[in-house]
A and B are shown apart, each in its own frame.
Chain A
Amino acid sequence: MTNLRFRRQFPYHLMILPGLLFILIYNYVPMTGIVMAFERFVPSKGMYLSPWVGWKNFEFMLNMPGIYQVIWNTVFIALMKIIAGVVVPVVITLLLYEAKSRWFKSSVQTIVYFPHFLSWIILGGIFVDILSPSTGMLNEFLGWFGIKPIYFLGDVNWFPFTLVGTETWKEFGYGTIVYLAALTGINPTLYEAATMDGAGRFKQAVHVTLPGLLPMIVLMTILSLGNVLNAGFDQVFNLYSAQVYRSGDIIDTLVYRIGMEDANYGVATAVGLFKSVVSFVMISVSYGLAYRFTSYRIF
């Protein structure tokens, strides 16, 4: 009996095998590599056999000047992105839903979704140009209203907000598509009933459309909680410079500089491990919450 079942299921194992090997080598071997966080890395001894130093790397991390600022920057930027990433798409979805011209609606969708597919390399190049205080298009535009040029990418006070703004610019189209898809599930009789009860369009938006979106809003918000330590490496790395480290340096960029530029592997792994552990807890909690409140399951 077992033998028969094994023979029937054997092809399934075979199908999974190649992919499994890839993740074992490139995902699970690195997980064992977190032992480096407790070692003083010696290149000749390698990842597993370098001298053990216990919690030294973590002590070093906690005594690094500015480490708390970096953690604060990460959480602050990430939280602002999460909030903007929910509010902006929802508002625009409600507006788009009210626009009755199908041609107009799909054109707007097509346009706002496009930046989602551009890399932060290209966008970095574009934003450096557009946000320049001397030659940039945005500052020129603001100048029409008598606003003095702002150094969006070089001013410590502006930089975090520039990050949130550009990230929202890139991603709100994606969110809008998700919310619009959720709206197709709303029962049209609800609107008829609301009209019968004398609700105008605004009241319909507040009492029918918004509640229809609510499960999706809750789901997206909960799932994004796992990102509180993900302030967006690709974006920050391609937009920041030494003059905005104070407000713009995040855990991921710090790990990159300690590890790749200073070659201090032990400390970089320790900082990375700290982030991985906190993120793991946050993601697990958020998936648990998502399952409880919206019965969302990953698979």
Chain B
Amino acid sequence: MRQRSSTGRKTFVLFNYFILTVIAAACLLPLINVLAISFSSSSAVNSGLVKLWPVSFTLKSYEFVLNKPEFVSAFIVSLKRVIVGVPLNMLLTILIAYPLSKEKSEFRWRNQYAWLFVITMLFSGGLIPWYMAIKMTGIIDSFWALILPGAVPVFNVILMLNFFKSLPKEIEEAALMDGAGVWQSLWKIVVPLSAPSVATLTLFCIVTQWNSWFEGLILLNNPDGYPLQSYLQTVLVNRDMSLMTSADALTLRSVSDRTSKAAQAFVAMLPVLLVYPFLQRYFTQGIVLGSVKG
């Protein structure tokens, strides 16, 4: 029905594909450039030869990065953070979202509770009181400072709640009729039915946990406990020389600042790249459940 080929139309189609290709390239090229730099020798990089393909290919930068104890230990802290933080995030998200997805007639305090959570998205005490409150709980400088303050991802709770609400009521009602308790109904019926959204939110949580850097920087005084992104903040962005040992400084001469930074950026990106195909499979679903909902 919609085909109406004219020369104008053909020009537009070509032009359209061209523009979109340029746009996609603009998103991709910076990442490829960094990748190429990370695989190139420092002399090639310093003389400006490296564009989108490695010049005098070498794995030196990666060797340097993976032999750097600070980098490796920060990488492990980040992994630990994902392993501990994501299940906690998801457990709390589901446990809060389920009762809040009930009608007011089924759960009388639903609206009051829901507002209590929503208000935390609208108003905050600001940086310093947040820091002081965390300090009062005695977790400053410990691993738990990375986990507990952000344990409840309120925005995800809202998404989950709206998804639970969209499930057909009859299935759960039938289960409850048959004598299942609400706990059973939650874990055996509601959660399995919501598998796509649970998967989406889990992936979002993984990325969020992996990418967080501010808590580490503020709440940990000792850089030994830094997760990867906090550590990289000091390396990639701040160029804090105090964190560099003299041995590092020596190797840096052969590895060059640029190639080692590129390698570190790429290694830090790797886990996100790995989960991205899965993220992508669910993302439309995930976003639709968040935004299009009227």
Contacts and interface: CB of A to CB of B under 8 A. Distances in A.
A298 interface: yes
Contact of B272 (A20, A98, A117): A117
Interface in A233-272: 234, 238-239, 252, 255-256, 259-260, 265, 268-269, 272
A118 B269 contact: yes
Interface stretch (A62-70, A76-84, A103-111, A154-162): A103-111
B71 to A, nearest CB: 13
B177 interface: no
A114 B181 CA distance: 42
B229 A30 contact: no
Nearest to A10: B182
A122 B235 CA distance: 10
Nearest to A104: B17
| Main SS at interface, chain B | helix
A117 B100 contact: no
Nearest to B96: A19
A115 B48 CA distance: 25
A196 B27 CA distance: 39
A283 B280 CA distance: 30
A125 B20 contact: no
A110 B283 CA distance: 10
A3 interface: no
Interface string B90-108: 0010011011101000111
B197 interface: no
A177 B284 contact: yes
B95 A15 contact: yes
A9 B66 CA distance: 53
Nearest to B113: A16
B27 A111 contact: yes
Contact of B132 (A36, A202, A298): A36
Interface residues of B, number: 100
Given A104-B20, A118-B269, A121-B233, A47 B129 contact: yes
Nearest to B19: A95
Given A19-B152, A23-B152, A238-B237, A201 B129 contact: no
Interface residues of A, number: 98
B125 A15 contact: no
B198 interface: no
Contact of A98 (B16, B33, B99, B161): B16
B34 A25 contact: no
Given A98-B16, A299-B162, A16 B96 contact: yes
B161 to A, nearest CB: 6
B57 interface: no
A27 B287 contact: no
B23 A30 contact: no
Contact of A181 (B152, B218, B280, B284): B284
Interface string A117-136: 11101101111111000010
B127 A272 contact: yes
B90 to A, nearest CB: 12
A34 B125 contact: yes
Query: Closest 9 CB pairs between A and B?
Result: A33-B129, A272-B126, A30-B125, A125-B236, A12-B99, A119-B211, A30-B129, A27-B120, A29-B133
16 contacts: A9-B106, A18-B92, A19-B152, A32-B129, A47-B132, A92-B23, A122-B229, A127-B30, A130-B34, A173-B27, A174-B287, A181-B292, A192-B1, A195-B1, A269-B125, A275-B126
